[in-house]
């Protein structure tokens, strides 16, 4: 927290408060010191003058006899004794005509100011009393016999005033230093909480609502800190509520978008299923005719006829096409999931029947290592669809390899009452960040138009509905593995 003091220079609030308080304390102490010194000087000056008048009256009274009888030695002795008094630097005695009878003075007067006091000396009155009156006074029963003059030096007064000035200066300095320390302490007590509040506002501006200002004392700053913390808590709660609602809206929007995409894709798949079923139905009748005519021709011509071998080959291929047509029809038919005993090997082979031609065209070898009698609780055709999706993904991972590749399907030990079937290939690996999103709907790493991103997500849902699971794991050597786990029948 800084404020402009002069252009190009900044002064912190702590420094401003400390300087202001220090200057106030110093100025107050200086004014009090000056006033004290002025009063003390007036007292000392008055005391010095009173002392001078006292000495003057006593000296005038002592000189009456000497002036009356013209005894200069007595006057000189009295003047010498008086000159020894502090601050007396000059003594003069005059007769009634003003002639100087005695005049004594200090040898070194220096630069000190000397003020003079004078008094007239009169003879004793009728009743034998002695008095000394100031110059110009009159008395009916007194006779003027002379006058005396004293010179009083102000050197001691100046020395005392100088000592007083030094003392006041020292006291003022001590007060100023103490005031500066107290001002710094008071300024710190004020600015530290304010600095914490500024830090709190910066944290709030940065979105860090967990910051709390220390609440110290029950004064105004403590109340301000508590109010600030209360405001921060309210802002945090409001922000968290807003963020939660925004997250919910984003998730709802994403779910709605996925649902819309799934509906569109489901419609496409339904259309393709209906189209496939229609094509299979249309092909079934010609295939039936081909099979019947080939069998009739081979029967009529006999096995020894030269074309009998060709007719047998036509019959075998037509029979194979008929089997494929039946499987396509069954695969495209909408079915409900009804768990029953299913042979894993049979479902795998049915899937290979559908995709086998593509695998052979890409020089991809499949090594099925699943026992023929392995039975699980599943639904026919649904497990086949899972195998078909996994084999298709394995094919797409191997296709970039010009020399072909291999797909392995084998059993693995699992928990009691369950069995695991692993599908792995030697195609492109899957990155860890991609592996975390494999089963998300519409997530695909394939080029546009080459994948829908639904194969693995649909397979994941099917396995869940079958009471099993589909997961991605790493093998002992780090190879990728898709693991199907189901309950044994």
Query: What's 478's DSSP letter?
Result: S
Strands (E), 134-281: 144-153
Contacts of 33 (CB under 8 A, 6+ apart): 168, 169, 171, 172
DSSP 447: P
Residue 181 above 90 pLDDT?
Answer: no
139-143, 160-164, 331-335, 368-372, range with greatest mean pLDDT: 368-372
Rounded mean pLDDT, 313-328: 71
For the chain, give percent helix, strand, coil, nearest 5: 55, 20, 25
Indicate if the pLDDT at residue 213 is higher than 80. no
- The residue among 318 and 469 whose pLDDT is bigger is 469
Spatial distance between the Cα atoms of 300 and 175, rounded to a whole number of angstroms: 137
What mean pLDDT is reported for the chain? Answer: 77
Confidence of residue 447 (pLDDT cuts 50, 70, 90): low
Q: What is the pTM of this model?
A: 0.41
pLDDT bin (cut points 50, 70, 90) of residue 132 is very low
Strands (E), 176-291: none
104 bridge partner residues: 91
Residues 6+ apart with CB under 8 A from 237: none
Q: How far apart are CA 419 and CA 413, in angstroms?
A: 6
3-state secondary structure at position 488: strand
Distance CA 50, CA 94 (A): 23
70: left (phi over 0), alpha (psi -120 to 50) or beta: left
Note the pLDDT of residue 411: 92
CB 455 within 8 Å of CB 389: yes
364 DSSP 8-state letter:
E
> From CA 291, how far away is CA 317, in angstroms rounded?
9
pLDDT higher at 278 or 482: 482
Quick check: 448 pLDDT over 70? Answer: no
Q: pLDDT category, 134, cuts 50, 70, 90?
A: very low
User: Cβ neighbours of residue 144 under 8 Å, at least 6 residues apart?
Assistant: 96, 120, 121, 122, 123
Look at the block and give the residue holding tokens 């000592």: 163
What are the phi and psi torsion angles at 179 (to 5°)?
A: -65, -40
CA dist 400 and 395 (Å) reads 9
**DSSP class of 381:** T
Q: DSSP 3-state assignment of 136?
A: coil
> 421 pLDDT exceeds 90?
yes
CA distances from 283 to 105, 280, 288, 322, 329 (A): 156, 5, 9, 8, 11
CA distances from residue 333 to 273, 275, 300 in whole angstroms, order as listed = 7, 11, 39
As a whole number of angstroms, the longest Cα–Cα distance in the chain is 200
The residue among 327, 361, 369 whose CA lies nearest residue 345 is: 369
Of the two residues 457 and 364, the one the predictor is more confident about is 364
Ordered structural domains, the chain, with CATH: 2-174 (3.30.450), 209-334 (1.10.287.130), 338-487 (3.30.565.10)
Q: Is the pLDDT of residue 465 over 80?
A: yes
Question: Is 409 in contact with 421 (CB distance < 8 Å)?
Answer: yes
Closest CA to 91 of 132, 152, 133, 50: 152
CB under 8 Å to 51, separation ≥6 — which residues? Answer: 87, 152
Residues 11-61: pLDDT tens digits?
566 666 667 777 787 778 778 878 887 887 788 888 888 888 888 888 888
Closest of 482, 481, 488 to residue 466, by C-alpha: 488
CB 65 within 8 A of CB 71: yes
In degrees, rounded to 5, the angle at the alpha carbon of residue 397 between the alpha carbons of residues 469 and 423 is 35
Nearest-CA neighbor of 60 among 88, 85, 91, 36? 91
217-269: pLDDT as tens digits:
666 666 776 777 777 777 777 777 888 888 888 888 877 776 666 565 555 55
């Amino acid at each position: 927290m800084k404020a402009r003091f002069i252009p190009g220079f900044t002064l912190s609030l702590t420094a401003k408060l400390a300087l202001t308080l220090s200057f106030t304390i110093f100025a107050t102490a200086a004014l009090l010191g000056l006033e004290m010194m002025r009063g003390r000087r007036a007292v000392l000056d008055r005391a010095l003058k009173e002392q001078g008048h006292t000495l003057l009256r006593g000296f005038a009274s002592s000189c009456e006899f000497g002036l009356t009888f013209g005894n200069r030695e007595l006057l000189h002795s009295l003047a010498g004794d008086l000159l020894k008094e502090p601050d007396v630097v000059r003594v003069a005695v005059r007769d009634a005509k003003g002639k100087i009878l005695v005049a004594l003075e200090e040898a070194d007067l220096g630069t000190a100011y000397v003020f003079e006091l004078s008094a007239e000396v009169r003879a004793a009155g009728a009743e034998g009393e002695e008095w000394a009156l100031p110059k110009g006074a009159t008395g009916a029963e007194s006779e003027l016999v002379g006058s005396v003059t004293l010179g009083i030096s102000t050197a001691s007064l100046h020395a005392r005033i100088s000592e007083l000035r030094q003392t006041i200066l020292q006291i003022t300095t001590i007060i100023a230093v103490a005031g500066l320390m107290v001002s710094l302490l008071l300024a710190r007590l004020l600015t530290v909480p304010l600095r914490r509040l500024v830090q709190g506002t910066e944290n709030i501006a940065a979105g860090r609502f967990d910051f709390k200002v220390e609440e110290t004392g029950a004064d105004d700053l403590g109340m301000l800190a508590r109010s600030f913390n209360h405001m921060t808590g309210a802002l945090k709660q409001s922000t968290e509520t807003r963020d939660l609602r925004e997250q919910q809206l984003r998730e709802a929007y994403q779910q709605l978008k996925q649902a819309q995409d799934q509906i569109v894709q489901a419609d496409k798949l339904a259309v393709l299923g209906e189209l496939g079923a229609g094509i299979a139905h249309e092909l079934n009748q010609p295939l039936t005719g081909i099979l019947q005519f080939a069998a009739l021709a081979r029967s009529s011509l006999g096995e020894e006829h030269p074309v009998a071998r060709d007719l047998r080959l036509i019959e075998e291929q037509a029979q194979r096409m008929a089997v494929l047509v039946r499987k396509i029809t069954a695969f495209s038919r909408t079915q409900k999931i009804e768990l029953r005993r299913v042979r894993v090997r049979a479902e795998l082979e049915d899937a290979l029947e559908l995709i086998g031609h593509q695998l052979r065209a890409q020089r991809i070898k499949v090594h099925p290592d699943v026992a023929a009698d392995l039975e699980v609780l599943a639904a026919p055709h649904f497990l086949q669809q899972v195998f078909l999706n996994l084999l298709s993904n394995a094919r797409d991972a191997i296709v970039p390899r010009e020399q072909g590749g291999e797909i392995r399907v084998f059993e693995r030990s699992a928990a009691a009452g369950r069995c695991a079937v692993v599908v792995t290939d030697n195609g492109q690996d899957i990155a860890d960040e991609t592996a975390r999103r494999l089963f998300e709907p519409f997530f695909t790493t394939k080029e546009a138009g080459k994948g829908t991103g639904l194969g693995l997500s649909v397979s994941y849902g099917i396995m869940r509905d079958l009471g099993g699971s589909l997961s991605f794991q790493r093998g002992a050597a780090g190879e990728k593995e898709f693991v199907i786990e189901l309950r044994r029948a």
